[in-house]
Amino acid sequence: MGEPGRRAVIESLPHIRDEHGIDFIIVNGENSANGRGITPKISIDLLRAGAAVITSGDHIWDQREIHAYLPTEPRLLRPINYPPGAPGAGSIVLDTAKGPIGVINVQGRTFMKLALENPFHAIRAEVEKMREQTKVIFVDVHAEATSEKVAMGRFLDGQVSAVVGTHTHVQTSDERILPGGTAFLCDAGMCGPIDSIIGSDVAPIIERFLSALPSPSPVSRHSEVQISGAIVAIESETGRAASIERVQRKFVPAPANAAK
């Protein structure tokens, strides 16, 4: 969420990777550009910090320069259920030391301002095609309604390795392995300011609820920052999840004079 969350992720990814022995990192960059979308520069910074794939959501088009950049960087995904002709792609398979890993980004429709193609039809076709290349498949379902995300997890259970939700900025505590071997978490949560309303300054958001009038909602910059996410262990041969663990920790920035 904005510069605070962006800085936390970029500085922390190498340490989290080493601490947990992580092989593959996926970052949702949906709100990394001042809370509204992502820029090419931010995408490059996140990839250099250790992200293997960047997913997104309903704010993917908010930064104008991203339209031309998406077709040039296949590791930055937009939701797969956009109509044909939309720039970029909604999925990717990358070769790794542990074998090929697939990532799919899909957007829900319930309570979302922009109603895209049916996410269930779109992802079923993509999973069937991707399973010809790999059994290790991670799905970021970017959606508002918990019911839609839970339904997506159940729909894909046994067909993909993990279904993790994004969008609400609030981490849920329902992590589990579904009966078919798919890891599930309704929402990974936010990397951003703690003393905020889903990452934005408190006062303007309260005023918006009081007045029902549109108002700016700047990213909070006077707060401690937290990192939220999940770590999933996957059996590479079968694609089944062995475990899923929520992660939420305060970000401790490096000293200003620290060696870079």
pLDDT band at 254, cuts 50/70/90?
A: confident
Residue 259 has pLDDT above 60, yes or no: no
Q: Supply 172's token pair.
A: 């849920």
The residues facing 227 across adjacent strands are 249
Active site residue 59: yes
- 106: CB partners within 8 A, 6+ apart: 79, 80, 81, 90, 119, 122, 123, 139, 140, 141, 142, 152
Which domains, and CATH codes, for the chain? Answer: 2-250 (3.60.21.10)
C-beta of residue 173 within 8 angstroms of C-beta of residue 179: no
pLDDT for position 215: 85
**pLDDT, tens digit (0-9, with 9 covering 90-100), for 231-247:** 999 999 999 999 999 99
Residue range 25-41: mean pLDDT, rounded: 97
Average pLDDT, the chain: 95
pLDDT (mean) for 211-225? 92
Q: Which of 15, 20, 59, 142 is catalytic?
A: 59
**Are the beta carbons of 178 and 208 closer than 8 angstroms?**
no
Q: What percent of the chain has pLDDT over 70?
A: 98
Buried b (16+ CB within 10 A) or exposed e, 78-107: bbbbbeeebebbbbbbeeeeeeebbbbbbb
Q: Region 205-209: what's the mean pLDDT?
A: 95
How do residues 79-121 score in pLDDT, each as one tens digit?
999 999 999 999 999 999 999 999 999 999 999 988 899 999 9
The pTM score is: 0.95
Task: With cut-offs at 50, 70 and 90, classify the pLDDT of residue 252.
Answer: confident
Residues 252 and 260: their CA atoms lie apart, in Å, by: 16
Cβ-in-10-Å burial (0-12, 13-18, 19+) of 209 comes to exposed
Question: CB of 41 within 8 A of CB of 65?
Answer: no
Query: Binning pLDDT at 50, 70 and 90, where does residue 226 land?
Result: very high
